[in-house]
Amino acid sequence: MISSSTARHLLHVNGSLSVSRVKLLDAGEYMCVARNPGGDDTKLYKLDVVAKPPIINGLHMNKTIMTVTAVRHSKKQIDCRAEGTPPPEIMWIMPDNIFLTAPYYGSRIVVHKNGTLEIRNIRPSDTAEFICVAPGRYRCAARNKVGYIEKLLIVEVGQKPNILTRPVGPVKGISGESLSLHCLSEGSPRPRTAWTLPGGSVLERPQLGRKHVGDYVCRAHNDAGESSLTVPVLSHGVRLIKGSPRLNTPPAVSLQWPCKKERRDLGKMRSSISTWHLFFQ
């Protein structure tokens, strides 16, 4: 019940209500009640608070990884400009999961009001991951007569995996030689990758195997979803299996020796014409 003005609620003489510094918690139904000895009347209002998700440094991606370098014993500043409605609070997650909320002033590390992280007298031990967070964060608290405890929870929106490497057309390889197929993916949380071979077997860890023609399927998956990439592999060309050794022979002598070759084209064995290159000394 709002029967008089408060710090954020102003009750006007004509019965109007003003709410300053609107928050998400202010969203909901408001009922105005007018009452006198002859009866009462009510009017219901529904308030929706428009909110914009936070963005950092103008980037709308859920997670952005940046690499910065600094000179030893120098001072380094890393920007973290956060925007959103309502204005988000900025926090840095330091190594060893230490949470620093802006503003923070330490002897060597400072988090300014605008979110900029400043590290003074850079040391080699400062090489680590520093995470800037601008969440719609949640706190879980419990209190009784003997104490109070509070935990901070950060809700991160998942991002479906996206496979970045997509070859144009089938991949061709020479029979008997090694072949590399790439499947670089991004997402949040970090996707797990597995390959399905033409025979149907699944590779989820490094291991040796023979190359076969057919469709190779890469699947990147995380808690937010899955993305797949199909890479057709064709085998072509020839590989010398058994060649000729170096021979010493007198002049004007006929020479003959075997040369076994194989050729694969679309998975089928075909015969091929041998080509010889002779070098005389």
Domains in the chain, start-ordered, CATH in brackets? 9-47 (no CATH), 52-157 (2.60.40.10), 160-236 (2.60.40.10)
Q: In terms of Cα–Cα distance, which of 122, 120, 112 is closest to 70?
A: 122
Q: What is the pLDDT of residues 151-189, one digit of tens each?
A: 665 656 567 888 988 888 888 888 778 888 888 888 877
| CA 107/CA 95 separation, integer angstroms | 17
Cα distances from 64 to residues 20, 41, 161, 211, in angstroms, run 35, 54, 14, 36
Exposure of 87 in the CB half-sphere (CA atoms within 13 A): 7
Q: In terms of Cα–Cα distance, which of 104, 93, 91, 107 is closest to 54?
A: 91
**CA geometry: angle 32, 38, 42, nearest 5 deg:** 15
H or E segment and range at residue 149: strand 147-153
**pLDDT of 112 higher than 90:** yes
pLDDT at 228: 92
Average pLDDT, the chain: 78
Range of 123-137, 144-158, 188-202 with top mean pLDDT:
188-202
H or E segment and range at residue 172: strand 171-174
- Residue 249 pLDDT grade (very low, low, confident, very high; cuts 50, 70, 90): low
- Residue 248 pLDDT grade (very low, low, confident, very high; cuts 50, 70, 90): low
Handedness of CA 62, 63, 68, 72 (dihedral sign): positive
pLDDT at 132: 82
* Between residues 83 and 266, the one the model is more confident about: 83
Average pLDDT rounded to a whole number, residues 243-250: 57
Handedness of CA 196, 198, 200, 201 (dihedral sign): negative
Q: What is the pLDDT of residues 39-88, one digit of tens each?
A: 999 999 998 887 777 788 877 666 677 788 888 889 999 988 888 877 78
Q: In terms of Cα–Cα distance, which of 162, 166, 223 is closest to 189?
A: 223
* Between residues 183 and 24, the one the model is more confident about: 183
- Residue 118 pLDDT grade (very low, low, confident, very high; cuts 50, 70, 90): very high
For the ranges 158-172, 217-231, 264-278, the lowest mean pLDDT is seen at 264-278
- Residue 265 pLDDT grade (very low, low, confident, very high; cuts 50, 70, 90): very low
